[in-house]
Chain A
Amino acid sequence: GAGVSQSPSNKVTEKGKDVELRCDPISGHTALYWYRQRLGQGLEFLIYFQGNSAPDKSGLPSDRFSAERTGESVSTLTIQRTQQEDSAVYLCASSFLTSSAQFFGPGTRLTVL
């Protein structure tokens, strides 16, 4: 596709349930990033992939968060046993190289009731 796509666009879940968020990067982009943006706050880095390896997972808030990437394609961010504080917009970005501009998807708005 022409840009980064994410699905679902909105997700409402109950506290304690698991959720999976998907990101389809721009074709040919080797680097993929996940960020989180809470309401009224700035972007918070979560994890970065180079190919299908994740050299930096330092931003993941807890062990309930995990992510994987298939080759240089789709990535999935999984949140287990969701908590209300996990409510946020989860943004995915990709770039051709790690030094290149990052192109963002529209985000997934997660609401944990």
Chain B
Amino acid sequence: DAKTTQPNSMESNEEEPVHLPCNHSTISGTDYIHWYRQLPSQGPEYVIHGLTSNVNNRMASLAIAEDRKSSTLILHRATLRDAAVYYCILRGSNYKLTFGKGTLLTVNP
């Protein structure tokens, strides 16, 4: 699986937007960009995924660079419940998810 690079940690204030970056310069044309998050003491939770176009759902937005070598997960208004480790994962034909270290997001009240 192609590798992704994320900052180890980020901090945000409650009610403010958060932009979580991910670099994936070796992405192949068929790789989808998936984001999962893991809240403390819980299993991972699917957030969003996309291929080329920007995507929106009720949890977040995914902005994908035109060259697809990077992407940004956007939480429009962070809440304390969004504090978690966020994982950016490239998924081609491989069914298994390969989790890296992710970004630990801290949300300050």
List residues of chain A with CB under 8 Å of any chain B CB: 31, 33, 35, 42-43, 45, 48, 56, 59, 91, 93, 98-99, 101-107
Q: Are B96 and A106 in contact (CB under 8 A)?
A: no
Interface residue B100 (Cβ < 8 Å from any Cβ of A): yes
Known: A101-B34, A104-B44, A104-B45. A43 touches B95 (CB 8 A): no
Q: Are A101 and B46 in contact (CB under 8 A)?
A: yes
Interface residue B98 (Cβ < 8 Å from any Cβ of A): yes
Interface residue B97 (Cβ < 8 Å from any Cβ of A): yes
User: Shortest CB–CB separation between residue A88 and chain B, in angstroms?
Assistant: 13
Known: A91-B44, A106-B43. A42 touches B49 (CB 8 A): no
Question: Which residue in chain B gives the minimum CB-CB distance to A97?
Answer: B95
Q: Are B95 and A107 in contact (CB under 8 A)?
A: no
What residues on B are CB-neighbors of A91 within 8 Å?
A: 43-44
Q: Are B100 and A42 in contact (CB under 8 A)?
A: yes
Interface residue B101 (Cβ < 8 Å from any Cβ of A): yes
Q: Are A98 and B95 in contact (CB under 8 A)?
A: yes
User: Shortest CB–CB separation between residue B20 and chain A, in angstroms?
Assistant: 17
Interface hub of A31, A98, A104 (most chain B Cβ within 10 A) = A104
Contact of B46 (CB < 8 Å), options: A59, A102, A105, A107: A102
A43 to B95, CA, bound (A): 14
